[in-house]
Copies of this chain bind each other. A is one copy, B any other.
Amino acid sequence: LLLASRAPRRHHQGMAKHSEFRLIDRLARATRVPRRDVVHGIGDDAAVLRVPARHELVVSMDTLISGVHFPENTAPVDIGWKTLAVNLSDMAAMGATPAWATLALTMPRGDARWIDAFARGFARLARQHNVALVGGDTTRGALSITVQAHGFVPQGRAVLRSGARVGHRVYVSGTLGDGAAGLALVQKRLRTRNAAAVKFLRARLDRPVPRVGLGVALRGIAGACIDVSDGLAQDLGHVLRASGVGAAIELSRLPVSRALRAVGVDDATLQRWQLGGGDDYELCFTAAPKHAATIAAIATRLRVPITDVGRIERGDALELRDNTGRPVARSRAGHDHFA
């Protein structure tokens, strides 16, 4: 059911009809992005949309729960941004060009100020990528936001997790561990007087930048791709499992931001955050060595750092190596999640 179409069933204890309609109106106004492929947007029982010829539709859905996926004191403007960002990050990981979003917003009461701030954050990112909000639902309950992103790829050009091949290099965009450091700052497990570092790391946690342009540029170049949302070890593990391969990662190559270096955590913490922290929303992808120059050119053109961190190997293990090439840890990527 679409935003403008649905009040909660009145015999239950839904949000008051009038306040809901006003909230929807605010959201729709703030996020309006005109697109010719939206035949009918918000305001009917469903949206009617046009996928371009010779393209496939790519859809991802992600729920953010207050206190689980973002700290409870996160500013609503950042929640609005992040809820769209994590979905656009999935579009990026597929090499898809994002087009439309739907939004299911559950909140305890109809709070117009909260909605306005949320909509501002959502709309800012939506406009950057020309993403139209085409529908959704608002309901009353504990704060929770589900967004579905919709994008396009030319037929057969989606970049999957299953395309990693032995001999491919493993790359990551941007830097790793910043999201985890940002969360540690929020939770006061990390303290620093470096205000610039705090600002940078908090922004990395609260307003992740989905690598949409990079994802599109990697079509036909990357063998496999995934976004780093749960930590490199786990996310690369998904690629290895889907592709039936192993990988060796050189720990000293993992890209670290200046801000994260500046806060001065010990090596074990840094490594834990980089490999397992999550919330970085960078892309991890594999590519044949022959594409190295092209990838360097893409990095320059898009001004996105891209780092070669290791290699796809035979087997099913993710092996971590120190800078002398000696293995320091090893996990069986293919089985972790089904133990």
A160: chain B residues at CB < 8 Å are 40, 44
B135 to A6, Cβ gap below 8 A? no
Complex formed: what's the CA distance from A40 to B155 in Å? Answer: 12
Main secondary structure of the interface of A (DSSP, over half): mixed
| Chain A positions 44-73 with a Cβ under 8 Å from a chain B Cβ | 44-51, 53, 56-63, 65, 67-69
Known: A68-B8, A229-B9. A106 touches B63 (CB 8 A): yes
Residue in chain B with minimal CB distance to A70: B12
| Chain A positions 125-141 with a Cβ under 8 Å from a chain B Cβ | 134-137, 139-141
Q: Flag A143-162 by CB within 8 Å of B: 1 or 0 each.
A: 01010111101010010111
User: How many residues of chain A have a CB within 8 Å of chain B?
Assistant: 88
A175 interface hit (Cβ, 8 Å)? no
A6 CB to closest chain B CB, in angstroms?
A: 7
A63 to B137, Cβ gap below 8 A? yes
A185 CB to closest chain B CB, in angstroms?
A: 12
Complex formed: what's the CA distance from A96 to B44 in Å? Answer: 13
B11 to A339, Cβ gap below 8 A? no
B59 to A104, Cβ gap below 8 A? no
B69 to A104, Cβ gap below 8 A? no
A98 CB to closest chain B CB, in angstroms?
A: 10
Q: Flag A79-106 by CB within 8 Å of B: 1 or 0 each.
A: 0000000110011011010000011101
A135: chain B residues at CB < 8 Å are 59-61
A153: chain B residues at CB < 8 Å are 48
Residue in chain B with minimal CB distance to A215: B45
A32 CB to closest chain B CB, in angstroms?
A: 18
Stretch from A14-22, A245-253, A298-306, A320-328 forming part of the interface with B:
A14-22
Complex formed: what's the CA distance from A149 to B46 in Å? Answer: 9
Residue among A17, A62, A93 with most chain B CB within 10 A = A62
A326 CB to closest chain B CB, in angstroms?
A: 27
A91 to B8, Cβ gap below 8 A? no
Which of B1, B60, B137, B278 interacts with A11 by CB under 8 Å? Answer: B278
Known: A43-B242, A53-B53. A141 touches B139 (CB 8 A): no
Which of B10, B48, B142 interacts with A58 by CB under 8 Å? Answer: B48
A221 interface hit (Cβ, 8 Å)? no
A316 interface hit (Cβ, 8 Å)? no
A277 interface hit (Cβ, 8 Å)? yes
A46 to B242, Cβ gap below 8 A? no
Complex formed: what's the CA distance from A48 to B104 in Å? Answer: 22
A180 interface hit (Cβ, 8 Å)? yes
Stretch from A113-121, A230-238, A254-262 forming part of the interface with B:
A230-238
A28 interface hit (Cβ, 8 Å)? no
Q: Which residues of A contact B (CB under 8 A)?
A: 1-2, 5-14, 17-18, 21, 39-40, 43-51, 53, 56-63, 65, 67-69, 86-87, 90-91, 93-94, 96, 102-104, 106, 134-137, 139-142, 144, 146, 148-151, 153, 155, 158, 160-162, 180, 183, 225-227, 229-231, 234, 238, 242, 276-279, 337-339
Contact sample, A vs B, 9 pairs, CB 8 Å cutoff: A2-B60, A8-B68, A12-B69, A44-B160, A45-B93, A59-B150, A61-B148, A142-B144, A148-B148
Q: Which are the 4 A-B pairs with shortest beta-carbon distances?
A: A46-B60, A45-B93, A104-B146, A65-B141
